[in-house]
Structure 1
Amino acid sequence: MSDISLTQQKISALLGPQGCLLTPEQRQPYEHGARYGHGRSLCIARPASVEEAAELMRLCAKEKIRIVAQGANTGLVGAASPDQSGLDVVLNMERIKGVIDIDPVDRVVQAYAGTRLSELNQALEKHDLYFPIDLGADPSLGGMLAANTGGARLIRYGDVRHNVLGLEALLIDPPGKRLDLTNRLRKNNTGPDWKQNFIGTGGAYGIVTQVVLQVHPRPQQSATALVVPPSMEAAALLLRDAERNFADFLSAFEGISQNALQSVLQHVPGISAPFEPLPPYAFLIELSSARPRSADFDLEKLFGAWLESCFGDLILDAVIDKPEVLWRIRHAISDSVRQEGKVVAFDISVPRSRLGAFRQEAVALLEHGYAGIKVFDFGHWGDGGLHFNLAIPEQLIADFPPLRINALRQEIYDLAVLKYHGSFSAEHGVGPFNQQFYARYTTPEALALASRMQNVFDPQHLLGVTRFAVDK
């Protein structure tokens, strides 16, 4: 019997037939990422408890088998996918799920890492609370911490990191050791904040098993509009004015390009054009409040009066509609663009005051050196994030082999990072997909520290496929 077969038998004996998936048909959904990343695993391990997960880690450490942590497998940088060797164990947390406790007074929830975002919010709804990280997918909580997800309402609530009070994680050194950081305090200034090592690091330092989150009152009223500014400069002034007038009530400020709007209208039935003709750029603005609507506090009336005051200098046109109608347009963009050809996606951020200038220069770069590619950009203009997504028409795909696409990526990232002092990954993380760019743009000093940190947490390099320790 081969060493591989023997190891598979040991894992199967530990976790049972439901906890150890071995056949190609069983493994396939877990071996392919949502967008990037696909490989072959030794097996898919689905422990039913934290104790089983710890035992699995002890076994893998003894056998020197790499563990790839996986939540709902909705990530977009390949960080939860095995490589092509067939030697990785994918540790999927979907069976370690459920809400442990909700404290409505403290506005704190504790849950297992495999709990889905939708399941968490369903449990919180009865307390008029919710976890307001707004995403197009339905990720697991552990995956959200591992990627430090952002979303469309980051301008109001921050990213996941800003809402984590505590967590529990399993370490690989010593193997399977539970690290209890499930503190519920908002104020705790007692030295290093160790939980931050497990947020945004893709499982490279340990496997998150429980999360403690601060949650927020559910909105009782909202007001939404799709507006057209006369220029990008005016859009920046519009954002400033919205923040000045509505402060914490401003929950989203999302940009949508003309091409993105056109793609949604072409590929999604039942959506009518909000403007005729479609403008070069439109912005989805949302206000929300946990305070119920009343005669002396009505967000729709306040919003309408403000929009009217902005007409001319800051707004050329506007459509006010139910939130679900306008958000349907915004959420349909990614799927629509996939039907335009081969997608080359960018998840970048730059200082929001310079988003317009960056976009103008990036579009000119494409027109000069990559004719035929269409830009379908959209994103979180309120926090400086931009999904600068491109599509290569089918008839031109042969003109853009992998080497040329990689050169394009590097040019766009150089522009964003080196000239505009932005980020090559605003909210998707690093993972294998972004590994080369992490090495390119991270300073030697930071890489040296990352190498020392990763060697402390994972001296045998058995955790994950993301490497923060990189030779430069």
Structure 2
Amino acid sequence: MTDIITLQQRIADLLGPQGCLLQPEQRQLYEKGARYGDGKSLCIARPANVDEAAELMRLCARDKIRIVPQGANTGLVGAASPDRSGLDVLLSMERIKGVIDIDPVDRVVQAYAGTRLSELNQALEKHDLYFPIDLGADPSLGGMLAANTGGARLIRYGDVRHNTLGLEALLIDPPGERLDLTNRLRKNNTGPDWKQCFIGTGGAYGVITQVVLQVHPRPQQSATALVAPASMEAAALLLRDVERNFADFLSAFEGISQNALQSVLQHVPGIAAPFEPLPPYAFLIELSSARPRSADFDLEKLFGAWLESCFGDLILDAVIDKPEVLWRIRHAISDSVRQEGKVVAFDISVPRSSLGQFRQEAAALLEQSHAGIKLFDFGHWGDGGLHFNLAIPEQLIADFPPLRINALRQEIYDLAVLKYKGSFSAEHGVGPFNQQFYERYTTPAQLALATRMQNVFDPERLLGVTSYGAKQ
């Protein structure tokens, strides 16, 4: 293998001074993940265009240097972080950005992978369109596809996979070859849907360079309420009833536990308690429509009348407020919980009809075997997703060394995956953080198939940090 200094110089010569970062203070923001992943790279490669990225891949392939693609570095499973060997080239896509084309008739946008979600929506706003994947971070579009992000409005719009029409990717075999899958058709039944190989696979099969997305009309009116259910058993009936009454207008159904709500009130200034006392659980329900408000169609009035009809059997209390006020509570939870102690985060899903039962059983498991840990769960009840987040108080951290925390994770995941037929990663992906659980719960037949696929796309295992097949 070419020595490191020579390889760094070759990359610097190819990409220029802004395209190859070597100093530790320059690399720090790229090498440390948003939550997990803290490694050391050979360099941070920042190509200015797709051709430079392709040439970089050829250069690395010749010397069998692993490439770790990275978007905005907002992922939560370490999938965009180098290991600690100092031998990985971290390929940042942040300079390959910009909206290429917006077609308001087809409701299609094509953009480069490094474009941020906020930048995309800013460009779409003038056409009264938007990309409705609602996240707490501001990721790059390529990263969103690589992780198949979900978000709070999945119940209405689906995840990124459901909104992707096409993409372009760079392959590692042959090195740097551009695979053009930028078809804009909604109907195209001419064989395998090859773009799906690159969505949700964390860069293991190729580096996404362009995306083609279907976008949606911007809502012209909305109605939002924070609702305290009559009981946890009533939550499923509440969800079913709001879907029956409002069908496609339902855009979010988010659960917030009492502890999560209390944490926000304690740590975020300027937020008033929506209920007194706080209920054991609350649900943030949002309706929205691209149809303007009128005397004949006013979502707030319709929603208010429906809420009134639910009092007693399904609802104990409800607060209707401006959407930005209630969503501020929901989006503040993660940062608030970090101030409660050492966070042990779970991103799981089970059939939504089982969410209440799973939560009750998992909470009992914590009480029996891990006393002292506090539960701050919240999440996307409308689609079966739950951020089952725990906090270990400062005074108890010594009682929960890494081995015990890993055993706790396995207990919760076994409950979700094996008993409730759920997932250990509802929307965050696999990455190094979840690799052991992927291998634990994936069937031998799936692993064998994934191995064959990875051998086709990346026989030398030079792309990404996630292995979907058997280890070489």
TM-score normalised over the length of structure 2: 0.99
SS of equivalent to 1:295 = coil
What are the residue-to-residue correspondences of 1:416-435 with 2, within 5 Å? 416-435=416-435
SS of equivalent to 2:372 = coil
Q: 1:303 and 2:321 equivalent?
A: no
SS of equivalent to 2:33 = coil
Q: Which amino acid aligns with 1:93?
A: M
Q: Quick one: distance in 2 between partners of 1:437 and 1:256? A: 26
Identity rate, percent: 90
Q: Quick one: distance in 2 between partners of 1:310 and 1:364? A: 30
Alignment partner, residue 5 of structure 2: 5
SS of equivalent to 2:81 = coil
Alignment partner, residue 449 of structure 1: 449
Q: Which amino acid aligns with 1:219?
A: P
Alignment partner, residue 289 of structure 2: 289
Return 5+ residue gaps in structure 2 as ranges.
Answer: none
Q: Quick one: distance in 1 between partners of 2:134 and 2:469? A: 31
SS of equivalent to 2:211 = strand
Distance 1:58 1:2, change over 3 A: closer
Q: Which amino acid aligns with 1:379?
A: G
Alignment partner, residue 86 of structure 2: 86
Q: Quick one: distance in 2 between partners of 1:427 and 1:408? A: 20
Q: Quick one: distance in 2 between partners of 1:456 and 1:376? A: 43
Q: Quick one: distance in 2 between partners of 1:123 and 1:276? A: 42
Return 5+ residue gaps in structure 1 as ranges.
Answer: none
CA shift, 1:469, in A, is 1.1
Q: Quick one: distance in 1 between partners of 2:2 and 2:125? A: 51
Alignment partner, residue 360 of structure 2: 360
What are the residue-to-residue correspondences of 1:67-106 with 2, within 5 Å? 67-106=67-106
SS of equivalent to 2:315 = coil
Cα deviation digits, residues 218-261 of structure 1 (max 9, x gap): 00000000001111221100100000000000000000000000
Cα deviation digits, residues 343-378 of structure 1 (max 9, x gap): 000000000000000000000000000000000000
Alignment partner, residue 158 of structure 1: 158
Q: 1:269 and 2:275 equivalent?
A: no
What are the residue-to-residue correspondences of 1:77-156 with 2, within 5 Å? 77-156=77-156
Alignment partner, residue 233 of structure 2: 233
Q: Quick one: distance in 2 between partners of 1:232 and 1:460? A: 51
Q: Quick one: distance in 1 between partners of 2:104 and 2:429? A: 31
CA shift, 1:470, in A, is 2.4
Q: Quick one: distance in 2 between partners of 1:40 and 1:233? A: 49
Alignment partner, residue 398 of structure 1: 398
Alignment partner, residue 178 of structure 1: 178
CA shift, 1:93, in A, is 0.2
Q: Over the residues paired in the alignment, what is the CA RMSD in angstroms? A: 1.0
Alignment partner, residue 21 of structure 2: 21
- Which runs of 4 or more aligned residues in structure 1 lie more than 6 Å from their structure 2 counterparts after TM superposition? none
Q: Which amino acid aligns with 2:22?
A: L
Q: Quick one: distance in 2 between partners of 1:315 and 1:454? A: 50
Q: Quick one: distance in 2 between partners of 1:110 and 1:464? A: 24
Q: Quick one: distance in 1 between partners of 2:342 and 2:336? A: 12
Q: Is the 8 A contact 2:165 2:214 kept in 1?
A: yes
Q: Quick one: distance in 1 between partners of 2:356 and 2:238? A: 13
Distance 1:427 1:293, change over 3 A: same
Q: Quick one: distance in 1 between partners of 2:470 and 2:317? A: 50
CA shift, 1:2, in A, is 7.5
Q: Is the 8 A contact 2:349 2:423 kept in 1?
A: yes
Q: Quick one: distance in 2 between partners of 1:171 and 1:2? A: 22
Q: Quick one: distance in 2 between partners of 1:455 and 1:408? A: 34
CA shift, 1:59, in A, is 0.2
Cα deviation digits, residues 155-196 of structure 1 (max 9, x gap): 000000000000000000000000000000000000000000
Q: Quick one: distance in 2 between partners of 1:111 and 1:215? A: 12
Alignment partner, residue 192 of structure 1: 192
Q: Quick one: distance in 2 between partners of 1:179 and 1:93? A: 17
Q: Quick one: distance in 2 between partners of 1:232 and 1:2? A: 61
What are the residue-to-residue correspondences of 1:320-469 with 2, within 5 Å? 320-469=320-469
Cα deviation digits, residues 439-467 of structure 1 (max 9, x gap): 00000000000000001000000000000
SS of equivalent to 1:133 = coil
SS of equivalent to 1:316 = strand
SS of equivalent to 2:223 = strand
Q: Is the 8 A contact 2:61 2:172 kept in 1?
A: yes
